[in-house]
Structure 1
């Protein structure tokens, strides 16, 4: 979107539209303009958002501090600046949030070229009980509660919710409004009061080593196939205008797609060997497995028309392009929005051309 001939960053454009059209209406209905800030890496970004919030409140003659934002700590760099991020947002802060898969993927994003940051199979070796992840959550809760700020957990399975409550979180993010009531009941059952701000977590000390140590483990064929499937199916859902989907009984979204494609890229780069039989993970192996998965993927999306098949084949080609690149594409959704393969695919769909499949580029 261009304003006065200049391209406007998407978050600022969306923020401006919502504030101009809806902010006062939200306040009148005992709610407010509440946001979550994702992909924040530094307190300097939080400072910028705070300045934007102050300017907007003044411009629209709204009460100072009525805009609230929860910052998702989903980048390893931000985990070292949580105190500073809360400080910069001050009266605009609605706390911090944990996101296990985006956070895990950020290790590949920032350190994926290093063998000492090789992330093992997430389906077998990565969960919230691992040292680097439970330390991250413990530190987030401790940091928030020291400052009287709320700490929230992410969108995850029931077992993880219980671990988050035990760690001291004050609530959860949900992807479906129907989950609000059962999550509230779960929270009341396993905690005391409306939040857990009184849990200051003074019993823990988290070090840099705690935050940066990778869990032990290798890579399985099942995990590789699963990551390929999730990555492809997310792109197919994205091309269909959907942000999440169900696969093998689990809800998958941009976060699980990020960790899936990140791991495949890293395993190819470091040519890891599968635990199953010692096979080296290569570009050729990933391409072969993607082809082998086609029938399963067709069933997963209920593929019925030539357009469905074209979209799936486009998703496969795009996934292979992303994981086979020499340089790691920083964010999957940004790449899908800006890359010419996505744009050409959309153009083909609009023009009814479904007989060609974009080829992966290295």
Structure 2
């Protein structure tokens, strides 16, 4: 055995838990050293014996299995997945396994009920008392009073981008394991490890965490599982894996430095899901000896069903709430998800007819702001995806003016902040707030003028479908899948950053237009399967050739031509064999 192989074996041995209850799973053959000792080795030190968390896991009859590290990430793996950390995450997942399953089943049952009955969502009568009574969320700490500008889609697996964000003047960083991130085993470990290094002041080139923008940690949404850890024989929920490790390794240091732990919560569909997260927060804080209410979380309102339960969501999280955030494209895509089979809910070309100025989205944002401010919570807008030209190219002034125009509208509506992707847009956004809304926030803007009814939230924008819009959606969808198959969660296209949110609306619209035989307003042609297949081939000719682009195009066609609408593009990809095969390499 070579010295390198010995060192690698020692790393695995050090953190390999003894006994049948908690162990590393053998890796695939291509990951085994020539002597075959990596996956066969047994720990000699038996470090897990006597540790608090190990004992608790064994007492409760919980078993856990974790995949070994990909090549080059042995240090990250051994630092993050210590016996104690694995045991903690295992207990967390076992504690809430039934709740998560029930929540996911409830989503399916509600959709079936709406499909069968034809009923539309409304503000729930059973929670009228919560909406009409007076109460406030618990105040947020000092560093969260000003939420003007967050950098969005910052995958910590991209070390250079993460460092750039840490050294920026933004108020916060959406430290993203969701929309802007692809959860391969490599990127997940690398991202979690970079967060660990940053919080522990060990990331070269990064400021101390107390002097950096606050980390707004965004774990995966409930629809994504972690394939590389099993608890009691089941793959664990991705958000619990992320949240558990982030809290276990970083919470106390973040608290000591007045910097967290703070979170974004994605893709909630209602108050019951907020209640589940609140239970997770309470359990975790109790087990880690953290004062209840220390964790703060901002919920992204990205689903039409959640827009009818904003008060209730804040109420369920009232001790842990950091307010609500608007996510325009995921929110728009949710209309197709929930009502896509109905011809009266066909969304027109998003590039031409869908914007925050349209009635259904303006009503949604006005309601977010009114609801949050009534409850003493911050309300923040979505992310500007526009990119400044690079290398001295012309057009930077136009980009800044476009972003300022969009965000000034949100400021005047009472928004306390929003996100940008491009670091170069932080200063213009700060100047915009300084001029039009000086002060840390706009909680005093109560928006008593807002009178949003259910029909306002459900009013579809008028407009048609254009050939350019169809082509654009196809190009975005294919390139996003190609990025995922390459281990990346976002990419750049035509001056914008594209992530799973824009991929969701893109593939959703193509599916819906085919389903309802929508007509192109340019020519009157009907959108058919044959047309989409021809445009996919044309798109492949126009896009750069990559090893996975053909496979991406094939998967895109599968998704948009399926009889039943796939709930999430990321769920489909996360369970797709090509991704599963590639993610282990």
Using structure 2 for the length normalisation, give the TM-score.
0.57
The residue number in structure 1 matching 2:125 is none
Deviating beyond 4 angstroms after TM superposition, the runs of 4 or more aligned structure 1 residues are 176-179, 344-347
From 242, 248, 268, the counterpart of 1:14: 242
The residue number in structure 1 matching 2:257 is 29
Deviation at 1:163, TM superposition (A): 1.8
Deviates more, 1:196-205 or 1:180-189: 180-189
- Please give the alpha-carbon distance, in whole angstroms, between the structure 2 residues aligned to 1:8 and 1:320: 29
The residue number in structure 1 matching 2:468 is 222
1:169 maps to 2:415:
yes
Pick the structure with more helix per residue: 1
From 549, 554, 559, the counterpart of 1:322: 559
Q: Deviations along 1:245-285, whole A, 9 cap, x unmatched?
A: 11111221111111000000000000111111111111111
- Please give the alpha-carbon distance, in whole angstroms, between the structure 1 residues aligned to 2:510 and 2:581: 25
Task: Give the direction of change, closer, same or farther, for the CA distance of 1:163–1:282 in structure 2 (3 Å limit).
Answer: same
Say whether the 8 Å CA contact 1:318–1:341 is kept in structure 2.
no
- Please give the alpha-carbon distance, in whole angstroms, between the structure 1 residues aligned to 2:448 and 2:347: 30
The residue number in structure 2 matching 1:353 is none
The residue number in structure 2 matching 1:54 is 282
- Please give the alpha-carbon distance, in whole angstroms, between the structure 2 residues aligned to 1:346 and 1:45: 29
Deviates more, 1:1-10 or 1:227-236: 1-10
* Aligned 1:84-95 pairs, distance under 5 A: 84-95=312-323
The residue number in structure 1 matching 2:28 is none
Q: Secondary structure at the match of 1:259?
A: helix
Q: Deviations along 1:81-116, whole A, 9 cap, x unmatched?
A: 000000000110000000111100000000000011
Q: Deviations along 1:290-329, whole A, 9 cap, x unmatched?
A: 111123211xxxx4xxxx2x31111111111110101001
Q: Deviations along 1:16-37, whole A, 9 cap, x unmatched?
A: 0111111111112220111111
Q: Secondary structure at the match of 1:155?
A: strand
Question: Which of 1 and 2 has greater Rg?
Answer: 2
Say whether the 8 Å CA contact 2:383–2:421 is kept in structure 1.
yes
1:289 maps to 2:538:
no
Q: Secondary structure at the match of 1:195?
A: coil
Deviation at 1:187, TM superposition (A): 2.1
1:250 maps to 2:487:
no
Using structure 1 for the length normalisation, give the TM-score.
0.90
Say whether the 8 Å CA contact 1:314–1:345 is kept in structure 2.
no
- Please give the alpha-carbon distance, in whole angstroms, between the structure 1 residues aligned to 2:583 and 2:234: 24
The residue number in structure 1 matching 2:482 is 236
Deviation at 1:180, TM superposition (A): 3.8
The residue number in structure 2 matching 1:334 is 571
Task: Give the direction of change, closer, same or farther, for the CA distance of 1:239–1:132 in structure 2 (3 Å limit).
Answer: same
In structure 1, list runs of 5 or more residues that go unmatched. 351-362
Q: How many residues align?
A: 339
Q: Secondary structure at the match of 2:263?
A: strand
